[in-house]
């Protein structure tokens, strides 16, 4: 049911007042997902909340958590003859150890921005003499589409299409945050779009094992306010459950068809996250049966020297340890035009959101 503008304002007032009544002590809430971070800033939600409620960003921006090693591999591939790199646009400006895909493209590398992984198959079909490598970065939301494209490539068949996979799963990263001694979170706003695929079960451990409240939440301003309200209710009652604010979209069982495609092509594997390091079973590796589409198997690279950007605190931002403005580069050497780290590049990056919407002090948009 669509609310009128007046009804929306009244609902926002209701949730804001209820949150304020419930916030009788300082609480730290992590919005795990970068889409939530941006929605929170764009809708001015931080300004609506009482000072006792602190929102911190988490590791839910796929471009941000992709370590430099991956960027360096992509750049190394782009420098090879007869290789076409296909990627979503937000990877272009992410700094690798020494270069960016954008800089490589300016120097002649064949790097093409796509809007769907399917575009990569068409490019591969149109360029049979070249190797087309798709940069597969994303969470549960996007990985099934990449898996479906691999299945289609197998059916056609297309033999010059490869994937450089950095797909990741959100629940193991939340577990890593909970297991860390130096990160305190009183409640999690969980990403609705990944739960659409995974269902609720992978998140039950947050309450079951760690006794921390969590709410799967949608992306409208009212969704987020209601999600915070639902967390505050649990926190003040001293309970811990997994709640679902986004029931109109997220079913408890998730999307079984999408999961089946995913499980057919990929298997869980250890993956390195910027800020969190290597987390067991947090990545998706191509199954042996699909190794023919694995760029790292079919087109192996020599060992690369890789390093993170000097002074960049992106890892700490992604764990909720610091706010972006605490980084010495923020709005000084690091801006969306000239990013030092990945968190300033992606539209879902916390540093970029702080820069664009940061209480008007660094108004960029
Ligand atoms: S402001 Fe720039 S340098 Fe600092 S943490 Fe963010 S991305 Fe890294």
- Span from the CA of 340 to the centroid of ligand 1 (angstroms): 6
pTM, 2 dp: 0.94
Q: Give the closest residue (by CA) to ligand 1 atom 7.
A: 341
Q: pLDDT-based confidence at 163, cuts 50/70/90?
A: very high
Distance from the alpha carbon of residue 239 to the mean position of ligand 1, in angstroms: 36
Starting at the earlier edge strand, list the strands of the sheet with 110-113. Answer: 110-113, 83-87, 131-138, 161-167
Superfamily of segment(s) 24-359: HypD, alpha/beta domain 2 (3.40.50.11740)
Of the pLDDT bands very low, low, confident and very high (cuts 50, 70, 90), residue 360 is very low
Task: Tell me how far apart the alpha carbons of residues 205 and 240 are, in angstroms, rounded to a whole number.
Answer: 11
Rg (CA), the chain: 21
pLDDT in tens, 289-315: 999 999 999 999 999 999 888 889 999
Is the predicted pLDDT of residue 355 greater than 80, yes or no?
yes
Burial (Cβ within 10 Å: 0-12, 13-18, ≥19) of residue 302: exposed
Ligand 1 atom closest to Cα of residue 314: 5
What is the rounded average pLDDT of the residues 5-33? 96
pLDDT class of 30 with cuts at 50, 70, 90:
very high
Q: How far is CA 236 from CA 23, 27, 53, in A?
A: 8, 10, 12
Predicted local confidence at residue 362, as pLDDT: 46
Instruction: Answer yes or no: are the C-beta atoms of 55 and 40 closer than 8 Å.
Output: yes
Which of 64, 96, 343 for a ligand 1 pocket mutation test, highest count of atoms within 8 Å of Cβ?
A: 343
Q: Enumerate residues lining ligand 1, CB below 6 A.
A: 312-314, 317, 324, 327, 329-330, 334, 340-341, 343-344, 351
**Per-residue pLDDT tens digits for 192-202:** 999 999 999 99
Q: What are phi and psi of 218, to 5 degrees?
A: -80, -170
Place 365 in a pLDDT band, splitting at 50, 70 and 90. Answer: very low
Q: For the segment 230-273, what is each residue's pLDDT rounded down to a tens digit? A: 999 999 999 999 999 999 999 999 999 999 999 999 999 999 99
CA–centroid distance, 337 to ligand 1, in Å, is 13
d(Cα 172, Cα 104) in Å, to the nearest integer?
34
Burial grade of 304 (CB within 10 A; 0-12, 13-18, 19 or more): middle
Residues 98-140: tens digit of each pLDDT:
999 999 999 999 999 999 999 999 999 999 999 999 999 999 9
CA–centroid distance, residue 342 to ligand 1 (Å)? 7
The answer to whether 171 and 277 have CB atoms below 8 angstroms apart is no
Cα-to-centroid distance, 98 and ligand 1 (Å): 16
For the stretch 213-225, pLDDT in tens is: 999 999 999 999 9
C-alpha–C-alpha distance, residues 85 and 75, integer Å:
9
Would you list the domain boundaries of the chain? 24-359
Residue entry with tokens 């430099």: 68
């Amino acid at each position: 049911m669509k609310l009128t503008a007046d009804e929306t304002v009244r609902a926002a007032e209701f949730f804001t007042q209820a949150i304020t009544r419930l916030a009788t002590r300082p609480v730290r809430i992590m919005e795990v997902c970068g889409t939530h971070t941006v929605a929170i800033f764009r809708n001015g939600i931080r300004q609506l909340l009482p000072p006792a409620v602190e929102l911190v960003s988490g590791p839910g921006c796929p471009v941000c958590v992709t370590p430099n090693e991956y960027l360096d591999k992509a750049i190394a591939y782009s420098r090879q003859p007869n290789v076409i790199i296909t990627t979503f646009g937000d990877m272009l400006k992410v700094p690798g150890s020494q270069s960016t895909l954008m800089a490589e493209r300016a120097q002649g590398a064949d790097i093409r921005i796509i809007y769907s992984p399917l575009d990569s198959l068409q490019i591969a079909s149109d360029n049979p003499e070249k190797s087309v490598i798709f940069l597969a970065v994303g969470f549960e939301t996007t990985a099934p589409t990449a898996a479906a494209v691999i299945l289609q490539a197998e059916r056609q068949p297309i033999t010059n299409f490869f994937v450089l996979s950095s797909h990741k799963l959100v629940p193991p990263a939340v577990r890593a945050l909970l297991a860390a001694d130096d990160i305190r979170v009183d409640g999690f706003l969980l990403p609705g779009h990944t739960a659409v695929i995974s269902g609720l079960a992978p998140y039950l451990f947050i309450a079951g094992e760690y006794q921390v409240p969590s709410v799967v939440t949608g992306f409208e301003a009212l969704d987020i306010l209601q999600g915070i309200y639902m967390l505050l209710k649990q926190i003040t009652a001293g309970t811990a459950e997994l709640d679902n604010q986004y029931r109109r979209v997220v079913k408890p069982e998730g999307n079984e068809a999408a999961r089946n495609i995913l499980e057919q092509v990929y298997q869980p594997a250890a993956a390195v996250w910027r800020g969190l390091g290597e987390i067991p079973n947090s990545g998706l590796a191509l199954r042996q049966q699909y190794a023919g589409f694995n760029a790292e198997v079919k087109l192996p690279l020599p060992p690369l020297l890789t390093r993170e950007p000097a002074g960049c605190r992106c890892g700490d931002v992604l764990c909720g340890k610091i706010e972006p403005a605490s980084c010495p580069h923020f709005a000084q050497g690091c801006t969306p035009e000239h990013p030092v780290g990945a968190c300033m590049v992606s539209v879902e990056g916390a540093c970029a959101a702080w820069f664009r919407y940061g209480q008007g002090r660094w108004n960029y948009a």
